[in-house]
């Protein structure tokens, strides 16, 4: 058994999904393992990780519209507004999604389906620098 870790940094452009599959795939497959499990851990509470369709950008737009309706910015329900009207909604969006994903490594490649991509979902309006820890365990 071998273990490999790294931290990737992504700069987001503000609210929305950014595909991170190429960077994650490049690192994982360069480790030379044939079988294993890749864990992705996002070190933030106002952004999340998602496995989602990578072929039709309408899917991303629909998800964003759904979450805008579900958790609107500036909702008077929220008391935590220290960083602006999008701050607490960003935390709720993260709580409803996840900051951790696991992807199997099979025959030296990430076992993603044809239309699956890995996404970093920024929930704040302005861009941020986001840190993603990768941990690969396998042989």
User: pLDDT tens digits for the chain (139 residues)?
Assistant: 999 999 999 999 999 999 999 999 999 999 999 999 999 999 999 999 999 999 999 999 999 999 999 999 999 999 999 999 999 999 999 999 999 999 999 999 999 999 999 999 999 999 999 999 999 999 9
pLDDT, residue 8, reads 98
Quote the pTM value: 0.96
pLDDT, residue 120, reads 98
pLDDT, residue 113, reads 97
pLDDT, residue 133, reads 99
Radius of gyration of the chain (CA): 16
pLDDT, residue 51, reads 98
How far does Cα 68 stand from its chain's mean position?
18
What residues contact residue 61 under an 8 Å CB cut-off, 6+ apart?
A: none
pLDDT, residue 35, reads 98
What residues contact residue 47 under an 8 Å CB cut-off, 6+ apart?
A: 12, 90, 94, 99, 120, 121, 122, 123, 124, 128, 130
pLDDT, residue 76, reads 96
CA quadruple 72, 74, 79, 83: dihedral, nearest 10: 110
């Amino acid at each position: 058994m071998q273990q490999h870790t790294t931290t990737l940094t992504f700069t987001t452009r503000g609210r929305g999904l950014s595909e991170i599959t190429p960077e994650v795939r490049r690192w994982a497959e360069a480790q030379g393992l044939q079988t294993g499990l890749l864990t992705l851990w996002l070190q933030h509470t106002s952004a999340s990780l998602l496995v989602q369709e990578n072929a039709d950008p309408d899917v991303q737009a629909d998800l964003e519209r759904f979450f805008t309706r579900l958790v609107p910015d500036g909702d008077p329900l929220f008391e935590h507004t220290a960083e602006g009207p999008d701050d607490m909604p960003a935390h709720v969006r993260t709580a409803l999604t996840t900051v951790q994903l696991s992807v199997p490594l099979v025959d030296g490649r990430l076992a993603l389906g044809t239309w699956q991509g890995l996404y970093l979902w920024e929930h704040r309006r302005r861009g941020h620098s986001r840190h993603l820890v990768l941990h690969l365990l396998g042989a």
